[in-house]
Amino acid sequence: MAVWTAIGYLAGDHISVLESALHRYEWYAVAAAAVLALSFVVLRRIRRHR
Protein backbone atom coordinates (compact mmCIF):
# COMPACT_ATOMS: atom_id res chain seq x y z
CA MET A 1 0.00 0.00 0.00
CA ALA A 2 2.78 2.42 0.86
CA VAL A 3 4.45 1.81 -2.49
CA TRP A 4 1.35 2.87 -4.43
CA THR A 5 0.96 5.92 -2.22
CA ALA A 6 4.58 6.92 -2.84
CA ILE A 7 4.19 6.42 -6.59
CA GLY A 8 1.05 8.55 -6.61
CA TYR A 9 2.76 11.26 -4.60
CA LEU A 10 5.84 11.30 -6.82
CA ALA A 11 3.77 11.25 -10.02
CA GLY A 12 1.87 14.33 -8.87
CA ASP A 13 0.90 16.57 -11.76
CA HIS A 14 2.53 14.32 -14.34
CA ILE A 15 -0.11 11.61 -14.06
CA SER A 16 -1.68 12.47 -17.45
CA VAL A 17 1.70 12.17 -19.20
CA LEU A 18 2.37 8.87 -17.46
CA GLU A 19 -1.06 7.56 -18.39
CA SER A 20 -0.57 8.35 -22.08
CA ALA A 21 2.82 6.61 -22.02
CA LEU A 22 1.28 3.54 -20.39
CA HIS A 23 -1.45 3.40 -23.02
CA ARG A 24 1.17 3.62 -25.75
CA TYR A 25 2.87 0.44 -24.55
CA GLU A 26 -0.27 -1.40 -23.46
CA TRP A 27 -0.37 -3.76 -26.45
CA TYR A 28 3.30 -4.66 -26.02
CA ALA A 29 2.56 -5.71 -22.44
CA VAL A 30 -0.45 -7.75 -23.57
CA ALA A 31 1.60 -9.44 -26.29
CA ALA A 32 4.43 -10.22 -23.83
CA ALA A 33 1.96 -11.72 -21.35
CA ALA A 34 0.43 -13.86 -24.11
CA VAL A 35 3.87 -15.12 -25.22
CA LEU A 36 4.80 -15.96 -21.63
CA ALA A 37 1.52 -17.80 -21.05
CA LEU A 38 1.88 -19.76 -24.28
CA SER A 39 5.48 -20.64 -23.44
CA PHE A 40 4.42 -21.89 -20.03
CA VAL A 41 1.73 -24.12 -21.55
CA VAL A 42 4.07 -25.52 -24.22
CA LEU A 43 6.87 -26.25 -21.73
CA ARG A 44 4.45 -27.91 -19.35
CA ARG A 45 3.11 -30.18 -22.10
CA ILE A 46 6.63 -31.10 -23.19
CA ARG A 47 7.61 -32.01 -19.63
CA ARG A 48 4.42 -33.97 -19.10
CA HIS A 49 5.05 -36.17 -22.17
CA ARG A 50 8.56 -37.16 -21.07
Work out the end-to-end distance of the chain between its first and last CA atoms, rounded to an integer number of angstroms: 44
Residue 17, φ and ψ in degrees, nearest 5: -65, -40
**Residue range 2-50, pLDDT digits in tens:** 898 888 888 887 878 878 888 889 999 999 999 999 999 999 999 998 7
Other CB atoms within 10 A of residue 11 CB: 13
| Residues in contact with 18: Cβ distance below 8 Å, sequence separation at least 6, in sequence order | 11
The CA distance from 1 to 31, in Å, is: 28
Inter-residue contact 18 to 11 (CB < 8 Å): yes
Tell me if the pTM is above 0.75: no
pLDDT of residue 21: 83
